[in-house]
Structure 1
Amino acid sequence: MSRPRGRRVDPARAAALEVLRAVRAEDGYTNLVLPAVLSQHGLTGRDAAFVTELAAGTVRRQATYDAVLAACIDRPLRKVETAVLDALRLGTHQLLGMRVPAHAAISTTVDLVRAKVSQGAGGFANAVLRKVSARDLAAWIDEVAPSSDADAHGHLAVAESHPRWVVDALASAVGEDELAALLAADNVPPRVTLVARPGRATRDELPGTPTPYSPYGVTLEGGDPAAVPAVAEGRAGVQDEGSQLVALALAAAPVEGRDERWVDLCAGPGGKASLLAALAAERGAALTGVELHHHRARLVARAASSGGGAGFAGVVQADATRAPYADASADRILLDAPCTGLGALRRRPEARWRRTPGDLAELVALQRTLLAEAGRVLRPGGALLYATCSPVLAETAEVVTAVLGDHPELRLDDVRPHLPAVPDADGPLPGSVQLWPHRHATDAMFLALLRRTS
């Protein structure tokens, strides 16, 4: 198919199209693909910010935009060439979700399609986007979404761009009154949060606004985190405030007797391990990380050795379902279990399109096995923190309840006194904590503190 030479393709929009292709075809993560693509195209400053919003915003709003495009195209979207559909989604986001003039959004998208696909495909894109530009986002949602009175969850699935099953699962966790606010918060790009690792850096060294709940965090107004000296040196890092609070809650929980052996059972990629190791060093304790996958184990070693200082004892590449520790041997254990990630959709927007109810069932089985194994390793008088970056009840309350029922030597403790600055965070189990993006501007982290009685 011929690709005639025409007007120069805008490099920012070409870069955004590459990001969408990598996310769709290679299972890439938007936030991980973006830096490489920006570097390849030599885009910085305002151009880089434009690409970031264009690509990430398009991924977030994919369900909404697909519903709009389906109303403007006379054949199923699955029959539209993938490169053309990606470009149409980018154009639709510019028209409905960004302050890009309609003529610029349409013409640059048409140029992109002509250059990447064909002249005829460019004409098709022009016709479709002109139809899209006839209404604003609110009017299109009224047109293509189910009535909220007849099908409230179906309406929200289109209006806030989440799969229907995810809307149903989140509704059970947060309640109907807050569901719309939670889904809307998932579509707000999070600001970058940094953490100063204690004993290695201070919060005063970091630019930005102090976080409200973590004494070690700041939120950046903009700029490249890697340009901050403490980050470049590994003494500080990028870490959501919710993840910081997970590490702080475990470190604050009292233990009886010895407090020397700390374990992070699912340590990759190493953010929480780094903070825990720094906290351990201040007490003369040491943290060991356990990570199944080789590349993630290397990330843990790199992050925690620079950020945790003397408090990092190393990383063991092993399967945490058969942890390489004796019974009742660890004083403190963090189990940040593999989960659906449905509490981190602000940062990982593509996760909503990749996860399935089948994934949930498999992960729940793994979470139960991991938590039971963590309970075996925990010594009486020690502290075990179970955490997920998902608020879905099957991964939180139901996992903990099932393991407690099978293991009477474990009991649930109250983690809330160890996060006294965090308001309105009662979790689904007595004494547990649930953070929310719409309440706390963090990922939706779940925390439960367990003890071993014998």
Structure 2
Amino acid sequence: MSDARGGAPGGRGRRDDRGRQGPPRTGGASGGDTGRRRDERGRERGAARAEGRGHRSAAAPTDRRRGTDAARAAAFEVLREVDGSDSYANLVLPPLLRERGLSGRDAAFATELAYGTLRLRGRYDVVIELCAARTLDRIEPPVLDLLRMGVHQLLGMRVPAHAAVSETVGLARERTGVGSGQFVNAVLRAVGRESPETWLARVADHVDPAGTDAVARLAAVESHPVWVARALREALAGNGRDVDELVELMRADNTAPEVTLVARPGLVTAGDLVEQSRGAGRRGRWVETAVVLSGGDPGAVAAVREGLAGVQDEGSQLVALAFAQAPVAGRDERWLDLCAGPGGKSALLAALASGRGARLVANEVAPHRARLVERALVAVPADAVEEVRTGDGRVVGQDEPAAYDRVLVDAPCTGLGALRRRPEARWRRVPSDLAQLGALQRALLSSALDAVRPGGVVAYVTCSPHLAETQLVVKDVLRKRSDVEVLDAREPVRDVAGDDIPLGDRLDVQLWPHAHGTDAMFLTLLRRSG
């Protein structure tokens, strides 16, 4: 059995610097020619030196190794972009991998190193502070990212300790200087002296020495800000779930999700996508449009390149399909996606609208995101899209009162429901964001209710389970209105996903990564009354 750092006992082979199994060692203490390779002190020498072919480097130790392999270098650049430019890893990494020509194992290694480091940053920062004997603010940001990368290789990946240290030190010497390389070397060697299990216990004890705050301990170990951990616990309780599920939920946030494709109805089928994926795809769990990829580049699937399919979480597909399934009274001809960027739900809805003789208006406030919507809609029949426009969703209800039969509000939110896919979001968001976002969410929902006609349906959707962004927003908006009926969102969700999908007792629907295998999407359905 290999150890926690991916090393293997003798006789089962060595692991290379990625943790991959190599050929077994030959010879041993009682066989082969190793006896002839021992010096006068009994130390074993390499074959080259024993035969007089070896030599010692004339360079100083700190000058012997600079740089590392392309995969580690790419992961480091992603971390620097995320930290220095507020970029998102899922937008930075794919083009970087293509630019560097990284694919297969190298691409997978770079992806896990970058995403895993971002997900578990909170845990690793405590480990680094304990080993560096200094606070994080006294460590230069690039050096801190290097340390986080090294710690992830030591504690979170099957990388041999010697490779994790030497490769990270080499990268440090190349990018941040010889002095920082020595510092990185010392810290990582200290980290490597303890097992991952030991470090988990030390992290928990460091943040809560008295052992009185279980949520704070869990937040540190599972690498979430404490305020996020407390909010997730409240969300579980507010949706009638056991608060003890918090451990599973946070671990699900730290598990790399598989890529999910959406087969846009009328353009391509899920069966076609499975066939085009060449063995890497399987049907989704809940909706007929979903195909899950076990690996590979989704851009290699022909239907994705042609816009017949796209990358979209199955939970996101489910709430859009349930919205389209909800019954409206009277005509059903004009639909509005109020916050359309980047276009995944718009493309799915437009494809559905095409089959029903309806038309979609896609509204997006940011011009660059509106262009992404146009790109997502490229393969949808033109008669299904009335317009892609740039505008403030908060005034649509005033400008176009009672003009639509269906309105989707996929509201901007903290994104706490998609931490599996955007791990850096947990470190960027702060509690004060909720007030600003909450005002926007309420204004958008109010506008949508004004824009839908009597008998029409509004869906309020967020990719966050936070009660302040979900139930409280709807409650506050409805308190000021007497012309809205709350529909049972569970019915159309079951119509789409089947009766086996686990749902709560509330009329709204909250999905969970640990319970449904999706992002934590929230859905409320509202009908405008006369």
1:87-145 C-alpha deviation (Å, 9 max, x unpaired): 11000000000000000000101111111111121111111001101112221121121
Map residues 34-433 of structure 1 onto 2, 5 A cutoff: 34-145=93-204, 146=208, 149-175=211-237, 176-207=243-274, 208-307=281-380, 309-323=382-396, 325-420=399-494, 421=498, 423-426=501-504, 430-433=506-509
Local SS of the residue matching 1:357? coil
Contact 1:410/1:451 (CA < 8 Å) preserved in 2? yes
Letter in 2 for 1:431: L
Local SS of the residue matching 1:282? helix
Cα drift, residue 6 of structure 1? 3.2
Local SS of the residue matching 2:438? helix
Are residues 280 and 404 of structure 1, via their aligned partners in 2, closer, same or farther at CA, if it must alter by over 3 Å? same
Contact 1:211/1:241 (CA < 8 Å) preserved in 2? yes
Local SS of the residue matching 2:252? helix
Query: Hey, what's the Cα distance between the residues in 1 that align with 2:142 and 2:114?
Result: 14
1:31 to 90, 104, 107: 90
Query: Hey, what's the Cα distance between the residues in 1 that align with 2:212 and 2:288?
Result: 46
Query: Hey, what's the Cα distance between the residues in 2 that align with 1:241 and 1:231?
Result: 16
Local SS of the residue matching 1:334? strand
1:453 matched to which residue of 2? 529
Query: Hey, what's the Cα distance between the residues in 2 that align with 1:307 and 1:224?
Result: 23
Contact 2:319/2:493 (CA < 8 Å) preserved in 1? no
Cα drift, residue 5 of structure 1? 6.8
Instruction: Indicate yes or no: 2:90 matched with 1:16.
Output: no
Letter in 2 for 1:272: K
2:11 matched to which residue of 1? none
Query: Hey, what's the Cα distance between the residues in 1 that align with 2:259 and 2:452?
Result: 34
Contact 1:372/1:407 (CA < 8 Å) preserved in 2? no
Local SS of the residue matching 1:305? coil
Query: Hey, what's the Cα distance between the residues in 2 that align with 1:160 and 1:322?
Result: 41
Letter in 2 for 1:396: T
Residue range with higher mean Cα deviation, 262-271 or 413-422: 413-422
Contact 1:4/1:115 (CA < 8 Å) preserved in 2? no
Cα drift, residue 4 of structure 1? 5.1
Cα drift, residue 301 of structure 1? 1.2
Cα drift, residue 308 of structure 1? 5.7
Cα drift, residue 44 of structure 1? 1.2
Mind listing any 5+ residue stretches in structure 1 that lack a counterpart? none
Mind listing any 5+ residue stretches in structure 2 that lack a counterpart? 1-61, 238-242, 275-280
How many residue pairs get aligned? The number is 450
Local SS of the residue matching 1:390? coil
Cα drift, residue 247 of structure 1? 1.0
Query: Hey, what's the Cα distance between the residues in 2 that align with 1:384 and 1:323?
Result: 14
Query: Hey, what's the Cα distance between the residues in 1 that align with 2:100 and 2:271?
Result: 35
Query: Hey, what's the Cα distance between the residues in 1 that align with 2:451 and 2:197?
Result: 53
Local SS of the residue matching 2:360? strand
Query: Hey, what's the Cα distance between the residues in 1 that align with 2:391 and 2:66?
Result: 54
Residue range with higher mean Cα deviation, 322-331 or 217-226: 322-331
1:390-447 C-alpha deviation (Å, 9 max, x unpaired): 00001100000011101111121111110112622227xx310000000001000000
Query: Hey, what's the Cα distance between the residues in 1 that align with 2:210 and 2:403?
Result: 54
Question: TM-score, length-normalised on structure 1?
Answer: 0.97
Query: Hey, what's the Cα distance between the residues in 2 that align with 1:5 and 1:440?
Result: 50
Residue range with higher mean Cα deviation, 363-372 or 317-326: 317-326
Cα drift, residue 9 of structure 1? 2.1
Cα drift, residue 360 of structure 1? 0.9
Local SS of the residue matching 2:227? helix
4+ long deviations beyond 3 Å: 3-8, 307-310
Question: TM-score, length-normalised on structure 2?
Answer: 0.83
Q: Identity of aligned pairs, percent?
A: 55
1:172-211 C-alpha deviation (Å, 9 max, x unpaired): 0013211111001000011000011001111111121111
Structure number with bigger Rg: 2
